[in-house]
Amino acid sequence: MGSGQERDAGIKEQVYGDDRPAEFFDKFHERSRNRKPNLMYELVRVITSTIAWVLYRARSISPDKLPDGPVILAPNHFSNLDHFFSGLAVRRHVRFMAKSQIFKLPMSIVFSHGGVFPVMRGKSDEEAFVTAKKILADGGCVLMYCEGGRSRTGKVSTEAKRGIGRLALETGVPVVPVAIHGSSKVRNWKRLQLPKVTIQYGDAVRWPVVDEPPRELQQAVADDVLVRIRTVYDGLNAVGPKEAARIARAERRAARSKSARVAGNTA
């Protein structure tokens, strides 16, 4: 690998190609663009939230940093449960952009009705961007991994895919970096090891809208998003979940106090 880090042998090699024609996925895009997730989303949320809270003792820090209205969630990616960890404390429908290979019966029914939409990796998939932009235009919340796929090293990747930069620039909506700590060891359940998982949300950032942004600018924005994810992750990793939660609470109290003083001075 380019980073020189040892690959996690517990994960299968990534497969980027999908031999099915792009037209096969039209029905999934059409549903995601024109219909909101139904009760399937709530059912899956109950199941996955129970697993997260009970087995992985998951906690979320600063989910209040998500702004109202359209937003892009940008988490690091270690496990196939990261989608659910990211949305654990989010009281709105999180629409996941997922690799097309998983859209096979019977799970494709669950994904489609749950608001998940496909992206064909390894090629320029314009339909995925059209779907994502339609959801955001309707005020939705889209989750997109700027690493492209799961990290094979147990560490946040150092290389970003430019797709998230393109989406942020073409829509101008805020991007919230998300650090998921502990999920790199989720697969250890086979050895009866269940790690604690912590999800911390960073400050939202947005860029001015740019129509047809050049590839270099897309990449620069994607790289910036990944740096912000890694900053939140490294901070969480350095102090630990309990201290990170304490710091976040202190910051919220300080922000409220400052707002109250400003309001008092302008009254």
Domain ranges in the chain are: 27-240
The SS3 of residue 103 is coil
- In whole numbers, what is the pLDDT of the chain averaged over residues? 91
CATH class of the domain comprising 27-240:
alpha beta
For residues 11 and 229, the model is more confident at 229
Residue 95 near residue 112, CB atoms below 8 Å: no
Cα 267 to Cα 251: distance, rounded to the nearest angstrom: 24
Cα 126–Cα 128–Cα 134 angle in degrees, nearest 5: 105
Q: Which residues have CB under 8 Å from 164's CB, separation 6+? A: 72, 74, 144, 145, 146, 175, 221, 222, 225
Is residue 122's pLDDT more than 60?
Answer: yes
pLDDT at 11: 47
Residue position matching structure tokens 């090891």 = 193
* pLDDT digit string, tens, across residues 30-45: 999 999 999 999 999 9
Q: Provide the token pair at 84.
A: 């659910």
Any idea which of 7-21, 59-73, 140-154 has the lowest mean pLDDT? 7-21
pLDDT band at 260 (very low <50, low <70, confident <90, very high): confident
For the segment 66-71, the average pLDDT, to the nearest whole number, is 97
pLDDT band at 257 (very low <50, low <70, confident <90, very high): confident
For the segment 217-235, the average pLDDT, to the nearest whole number, is 98
DSSP helix, strand, coil percent of the chain (3-state; round to 5): 50, 10, 40
Is residue 100's pLDDT more than 70?
Answer: yes
Instruction: Residue 192: count other Cβ atoms within 10 Å of its Cβ.
Output: 6
Residue position matching structure tokens 């809208």 = 209
- Phi and psi (nearest 5°) for 212? 50, 60
For residues 116 and 122, the model is more confident at 116
pLDDT at 265: 77
pLDDT at 35: 96
pLDDT at 154: 83
Percentage of residues of the chain with pLDDT beyond 70: 93
pLDDT at 2: 38
Question: Is the pTM of the predicted complex or chain greater than 0.85?
Answer: yes
For residues 117 and 153, the model is more confident at 117
Cα 233 to Cα 134: distance, rounded to the nearest angstrom: 30
For the segment 219-227, the average pLDDT, to the nearest whole number, is 98
For the segment 228-252, the average pLDDT, to the nearest whole number, is 96
Residue 263 DSSP label: H
pLDDT band at 5 (very low <50, low <70, confident <90, very high): very low
* pLDDT digit string, tens, across residues 13-22: 555 679 999 9
Q: Provide the token pair at 130.
A: 């059209």
Amino acid present at 166: R
* pLDDT digit string, tens, across residues 167-183: 999 999 999 999 999 99
pLDDT band at 121 (very low <50, low <70, confident <90, very high): confident
